[in-house]
Structure 1
Amino acid sequence: METGRRAVPRAREQRTWGRSWSRASLTWVSVLVMPLSSERGTGALMGAGDVIAQQLVERRGLRGHQGRRTVKMMAIGFCFVGPVLGSWYKVLDRLIPGATKAVAVKKMVLDQGGFAPCFLGCFLAIAGAMNGLSVQENWSKIQQDYVDALLTNYCIWPPVQIANFYFVPLNHRLAVVQCVAIVWNCYLSWKANRM
């Protein structure tokens, strides 16, 4: 009996320690990912994606690096991608509340079936306009790149978004997307700036 009584407090201690450790971990995770959950973080990661595209994909080297292009991608992240994605996740959470697997799949279908095609088209149009393309040139570039970019999107984002909608709280979803999007931003930068 003595052993049974001692085991209960230890179990409670372990459960309490586990909860406090989880809270502490979530607090540190929040501090680390909070900058990525904002427009500033999105702009910085869009810029990082462009740097990776120029240096690793296009192999421009430091002398051939186009700084203005990086600044343009950062501006698109600050002014368009961050605010639009952040708002979209809030709207999506209101449209389809909950956190079950079925809800995550529904959110992913709406996100990838409705939002992603429109968002991608707008992104390509904005990038083209910022690159100084005329309306006709921009339209031709969108027609050339859109289907390929959308198919590539569907190879990457559906599994990421299901996990994001199922496991990640609303206030950290943009951060998760932006962490994965470093590779995606690299691809988008390459695609948007390929003439």
Structure 2
Amino acid sequence: MTELNGLQTLLGMYQKLLRNHPIPTKSLTSAIIAGLGSNLSQLLSGSPLSMESLRAFVIFGGLVTGPVTHYFYTLLDKLIPGPGLLKYLLRLLTDRLIFSPGFLVLTLYCLSRLHRESHSKAVENLESRYWTCLVGNWKIWTLPQIINIGLVPVQYRVLFGNMVALVWNMYLAKTKK
């Protein structure tokens, strides 16, 4: 019972932070989960832990993923408001066919740069990995996004996405090799 009380207390603190400081809260959780995904990928593959990879994923999660996805989900519901199957499908298709491909470009390029690769190397990396990662994105993210956009309240969508991103960041770190 003590674990349940501790979890409820933690959830209450998270909800309060989310109400009072949504972007820093989402940024911090994104940073932590991105770093965890990078480290888990390295551990599961038997690679030594790389502080550079941890740093890159934490910075990207905190400075890009948290704020960008916060604004994306908020804007998505404002651009396509209301209930109904058609509106839901439009929001889902906007995510899967417009936001995700563009955000993947940003992700691959920024992670390369945060791994201290040159601009030309980052572009080369983007070109060589983009289609494989986009297909991986559609495979890994589509079902969770059906749930996220359809059922999860907007204030919790970044957190829900962070949970899926734990697996996604492991995939990205793995395909980096």
Q: Same fold (TM over 0.5)?
A: yes
Q: Is the 8 A contact 2:52 2:115 kept in 1?
A: no
The yes-or-no answer on 1:87 pairing with 2:68 is: no
| TM-score, normalised by the number of residues in structure 2 | 0.84
| TM-score, normalised by the number of residues in structure 1 | 0.77
Q: Which has the larger radius of gyration?
A: 1
- Work out the CA distance in 1 between the residues paired with 2:159 and 2:35: 15
Aligned with 2:112 (options 121, 128, 151) = 128
1:39-188 → structure 2 map (5 Å cutoff): 39-56=27-44, 58-60=45-47, 64-188=48-172
CA RMSD across the alignment = 2.1
1:19 alignment partner in structure 2: none
2:12 alignment partner in structure 1: 31
Question: Gaps spanning 5+ residues in structure 2: where?
Answer: 1-7, 19-24
Worse-matched range after superposition: 98-107 or 119-128: 98-107
- Work out the CA distance in 1 between the residues paired with 2:99 and 2:150: 18
Residues 29, 96 of structure 1: alpha-carbon distance in 2 compared, 3 angstrom cutoff? farther
SS in 2 for 1:87: helix
TM-fit CA distance, 1:109: 0.3
TM-fit CA distance, 1:55: 0.3
- Work out the CA distance in 2 between the residues paired with 1:99 and 1:140: 42
Q: Is the 8 A contact 1:49 1:185 kept in 2?
A: yes
Kindly tell me the number of residue pairs found equivalent between the two proteins. Answer: 163
Q: Is the 8 A contact 1:101 1:166 kept in 2?
A: no
Percent identity, aligned pairs only? 25
Residues 176, 119 of structure 1: alpha-carbon distance in 2 compared, 3 angstrom cutoff? same
Question: Whose RCO is larger (CA < 8 A, sep 6+)?
Answer: 1
1:11 alignment partner in structure 2: none
